[in-house]
Amino acid sequence: MAESLLSPDLLRRLERLQIKARRRAQSALKGERRSRARGQSVEFADYRDYVPGDDLRYLDWNLYGRLDRLYIKLYEEERELAVRLYLDASESMLFGEPTKFDFARRVAAAIGHTALCGFDRVAVSVFPAQEADLAAYGALRSLRGRAASPALLRHLAGLRAGGRGRLNEALRRGAIEARRPGLVVALSDFLDPEGYEEGLRALVGRGAQVTVVHILAPEEIEPNRFGDLRLVDCETGATQEVTFGKFRLQAYKKTLRRFQDGLKGFCLSRGIGYVSCVSSEPIEEVLFKRLTEAEVWG
């Protein structure tokens, strides 16, 4: 894929959006988000009684004139939001035209760029780790500010996919390592034999605001090969011989719908946002409609 994952026009449109956070930011670092911390900013929060030693500049003299009591004005401290992206780079993500991995990288780039333009802190976790990409992984672990966006796009464009993903393990490890819950977006086909439930539960258990972007290839939605086939699992190497005809196609589509409905139901029952997309559809449809409806940004 070309180094530029997103067109200049699309990047400019994304800069007008802002990542939404249902929970207030908990970072210790100053940023653009309201938090529960009290400090100095332009956003008034509350009053408290004056005690000797308080800064007299924050006394509310108008209130003193009405109540004859001294009160200190409190303001909401502005903190940054931690935005963490989990990008599935397993072998199965190389399927389709365009590949699911290329599509996932573009969505990740869009979310990351928007967050950086809002002065949020962005981290990208790619699994499984490819040894050749270790330098890029390190560069993607902590980014902040609009100036970091070109590096984000460059490193995402240079990543390669391959190997077995182990989705649950990657999400559990990320939940443990995260210093702050923040906003989490997981981009994957979720086609892992070990499932996805434990990993997503771990993220929710840490208090993260989680959104799942479920990506499938057009060939997975509408298979175009029929007859006697020998199927090979690209990650495990397991094989199975099948005769794929009209009736087998109907059974396949029912199974796929059950899988999609199961993932969506699991997410919605736990307050996880769910976005379903196909790697061949226009990226703008996902970014400006589906992600907006899922309240990732607005």
User: Smallest Cα–Cα separation from 188: which of 47, 49, 59, 90?
Assistant: 90
Task: Please write the tens of the pLDDT for every residue from 270-286.
Answer: 999 999 999 999 999 99
Taking alpha carbons only, the member of 200, 246, 252 closest to residue 231 is 252
So what's the pLDDT on residue 24? 45
- The confidence score (pLDDT) of residue 7 equals 95
| Ordered domains of the chain (ranges, CATH) | 8-24+81-293 (3.40.50.410), 31-79 (no CATH)
| Confidence at residue 79, expressed as pLDDT on a 0 to 100 scale | 63
Task: Evaluate if pTM is beyond 0.85.
Answer: no
Angle at 257 between CA 252 and CA 258, to 5 degrees: 100
Percentage of the chain with pLDDT > 70? 82
Q: Which residues of the chain have pLDDT under 50?
A: 1-3, 24-40
Residue 62: strand, helix, or coil:
helix
Given this model, what pLDDT does residue 258 score?
A: 97
Torsions phi, psi of 248, nearest 5?
-65, -35
Q: Name, in order, each residue with C-beta under 8 angstroms of 33's C-beta and a sequence gap of 6 or more.
A: 21, 24, 25, 27, 78, 79, 80, 81, 120
* 196 phi and psi angles, rounded to 5 deg: -135, -10
Helix H segments across 178-245? 197-205, 218-221
